[in-house]
Amino acid sequence: MTAGLLAARRVVRTLPGLVATAALLIPWLLPRHKRFDVVVPLAAILASVRMIERRDTSSHIVAGAVAGMAAFVGRNHGVYLAVAMTAIVWVIAPPQRWAFPKRLAQLTAGALLGYLPMLALWAVFPRYLPAFVAMTTNVVGNLASRSSPPVPWPWLGGDVPTVFLGMLFVGAPLLYAVTAVRLLRRRRSLAGPYDSLMLAATAIGLPYLHHAFSKAGPAHFFQASMPFLLLVVAYAASAWQRSDRRAVGAAIMSGLVIFTLIVPVPEWGLTQYLASPERYQKARVGEDRLVVTRVHERTLDFFDRFAERVPDDEAILVTSNLVSVYAIMERRSPIYDTYMVTKRSKQQQAQIIQTLDDRDVQWALIMSHPRLRSTHPNLLRHIRTNWEHVSIRGAPSRGGVYRRPDA
C-alpha cells in the first residue's frame, strides 16, 4: 500500500489528497486472506513508474528485481509482470537499433536477482526443482479443465452490488484499452508524472485482467483491482489540475467513491456484522475468541466433536481447501498435499493412498464429495469403498466422516 501511495504521489501532491486516495484503496484489500496478492501490483507499479521516469540501467534492474521477487512468492505474479514490464521497456526504449534488447537484458538481470531465493532453493535442495516443475505442470494442466463462474455482466441483472461489479468487468478492460491507444499514439513523446503512472498502471493492469476473469467474481476482481484504481485516480488528478476541468475530476472521484461503497465495502466482515449482528456468535478456537457467523460456529462445534472421537496421537486426513482445519483440531496432516483443490493424476492419488496405508491413518474427513470427485476421484472411490461411514452430528452435508473398519 505504501508503494501504491508513493506512485500516486506523482499526481496527488497534497497530504489530504493522499489520505483520500488511501481511504479509497483500503476497502479494496479483499479477500482478507490474500491481501498480499492485492498489493503486489502496487509495488510493481512504483518500480515501473521509476523506470519510466529515469530510463537508466539501475531503474530497469530494480524493476526486474521487483518482478523476480513477485515471481518467487507467486508464479502468476511473475508471468503477469514479465509481460507488463517487457511491454513498458518496449514503449520507453529509445529508437536506436539495440536499445530495446539492451534494456530488456537489464530487466532480465534484475528479475534473476529478485528470483535468487528460488534459485537457491533449487541448488540447495535437489528434490525441490522436480517438485516445483511437477506442481507448475499440474497447475497449467488444470487451467484448461477448471470451471469458471460466468462473468456477472451488468445486463444480466442481479442485486445492486452484482450489477456494479459487472460494470467494473466492462469498464476496466475498456479503460485500459483506451489508455493504451492514447499512450501508444504518443509513444515517443511520453513525459511527465501523469503519463508515467498511466503507462505503468495500464501495462500492469492488462495482464492482471486474466486473473480477474479466471474466476469472475468479487474476490478475483479485488485481487486485480489496484492498477485499475490507480489509473482512475490518475485520470481524476489529471482533470483536477486544470481549473476548467475540475468538475470532471470531482465527478470521476465521486464515481469511484460510489463504486467503493457499493462493491467492496459490503464484503468486509465488519460491515456485515454491523448490518446483521444477530447472525453472529462468539466462539473459541484454541486460545482465541472469535466472532463468527452461526453457520461457522456450528462447523467449529463439529470439529470439536470430531476431534474428541479420535485419539490425540492419530492423524486425520482432511480433504478441504480450508487447511486451517488441521490447526483448529490440533492435528497433523498425514500427507504433504494439504490443499486438495487441484486435479491429481492417478499416480499421485495412488501415492496418497499408499501414504495413508503406510502411516496407518484411521480417519478421514471429506468436506465435499463433489469437490473431491472432481480432483481426486480414485481417492474418493477408495475411501468410500474400503472405509466405513461414521455419523457425527454436524458433519458436512455434502461430505462425511470415514474410518477404517479396524479402527
Residue 40 has pLDDT above 80, yes or no: yes
SS3 389: strand
- Residue 163: the pLDDT is 96
- Residue 141: the pLDDT is 73
Q: Ranked by mean pLDDT, which of 80-89, 150-159, 275-284 comes out on top?
A: 80-89
Judged on CB neighbours under 10 Å (0-12, 13-18, 19+), 117 is exposed
Confidence of residue 24 (pLDDT cuts 50, 70, 90): very high
Tell me the C-alpha distance between 168 and 202, whole Å.
15
- Residue 148: the pLDDT is 74
Residue 335 has pLDDT above 70, yes or no: yes
Tell me the C-alpha distance between 216 and 206, whole Å.
15
φ and ψ at residue 365, rounded to 5 degrees = -115, 110
Q: Ranked by mean pLDDT, which of 48-62, 135-149, 294-308 comes out on top?
A: 48-62
Q: Where are the beta strands (DSSP E) in 31-150?
A: none
- Provide, rounded to the nearest whole percent, the portion of the chain with pLDDT above 90: 71
Residue 181 C-alpha cell reads as 491507444
- Residue 288: the pLDDT is 87
Q: What is the pLDDT of residues 76-113, one digit of tens each?
A: 999 999 999 999 999 999 988 899 999 999 999 999 99
Helices (H), ranges, 186-245: 192-214, 218-223, 226-240
Residue 299 C-alpha cell reads as 462447523
Give the chain's mean pLDDT. Answer: 92
SS3 12: coil
Residue 43 has pLDDT above 70, yes or no: yes
**Whole-angstrom Cα Rg for the chain:** 25
Question: Which region holds residue 355: left if phi is over 0, alpha if psi is between -120 and 50, else beta?
Answer: alpha
**Residue 397 CB contacts under 8 Å (≥ 6 apart), including other chains:** none
- Residue 145: the pLDDT is 60
Residue 115 has pLDDT above 90, yes or no: yes
Report the pLDDT averaged over residues 328-338.
87
Tell me the C-alpha distance between 195 and 193, whole Å.
6
Closest CA to 191 of 106, 95, 92, 94: 92
Give whole-number Cα distances, 189 to 90, 183, 192, 196, 365, in Å: 14, 9, 10, 11, 62
Residue 10 C-alpha cell reads as 506523482
Kindly report the length of the chain. Answer: 407
